[in-house]
Amino acid sequence: MKKTLILILIFLVPKQISAQMISQLSFVPAQQDSVKLEVKTGFGMTNCPDMYRHTFQLNNDTLFLKVYYDPRYVSGGFFCTSVDTLYLGNWSMPFSVISAVSYILESDTDTVVRPPYKYIHRSVGIKNIAIKELDIQVYPNPVSNTLFIDTKRSLRSITIQDVYGKVVLYESSPGNSIGLDMLPKGLYLLKMETEGGVRTEKIIKE
């Protein structure tokens, strides 16, 4: 099993963004998992048009991600959310977002979709978290009725999504067992948030 160390340096751009500190992750991934970087940003807008773009580069195990946002589309009174997912390879890398600081800069035309304009730029710090230290066990998997989560840290929330990304179950401050009787058979993604970070597991409902 290959041990992989990936550092994330991330720059988020929206004017009204729901963003936090990105964690630096050191982990030993399971074989055949896929690296998935999910960036969730919130905008104070009536909708989520195609108003921004992102660029990324993986160099010497360091991921450089920049997201550029055109504030000309901002309107107040509403809030929407956009989620981007980048597939980078054959390893799994869940992470947690915690805090951010913003400033404005001028962007060159070769880095943005829109013409030159003022773009909001988020600079996010890095925090060390070893995913293996989260020490979360999920069983049985595959599961028929009740899924058990064994962790030394208290769970803040759990989210279950289907293969299309739709949230089918969310619980805040859950216990150590989840009833899944109502879910159809299939593959799901379980996200577990603790004070130490976020752990993502694939589960199969029988």
CATH number of 162's domain: 2.60.40.3080
Angle CA(191)–CA(195)–CA(198) in degrees, nearest 5? 25
Mean pLDDT over the full length of the chain: 56
Structural domain range at position 164: 135-205
Last residue of one domain, picked from the residues 69, 104, 130: 130
Whether the Cβ atoms of residue 66 and residue 56 lie closer than 8 Å to each other? yes
Predicted local confidence at residue 57, as pLDDT: 56
Confidence at 199, pLDDT banded by 50, 70, 90: confident
Q: How many domains, the chain? A: 2
Residue 87 sits in the same domain as residue 8: yes
Nearest-angstrom CA–CA distance, 26 and 91? 12
Residue 90 sits in the same domain as residue 168: no
Residue 152 sits in the same domain as residue 176: yes
- Tens-digit pLDDT profile for residues 169-185: 888 888 888 999 888 88
Confidence at 7, pLDDT banded by 50, 70, 90: very low
CA atoms within 13 Å, Cβ hemisphere of 193: 12
pLDDT higher than threshold 50 for residue 135: yes
pTM score: 0.39
Lowest mean pLDDT among 61-70, 84-93, 112-121, 192-201: 112-121
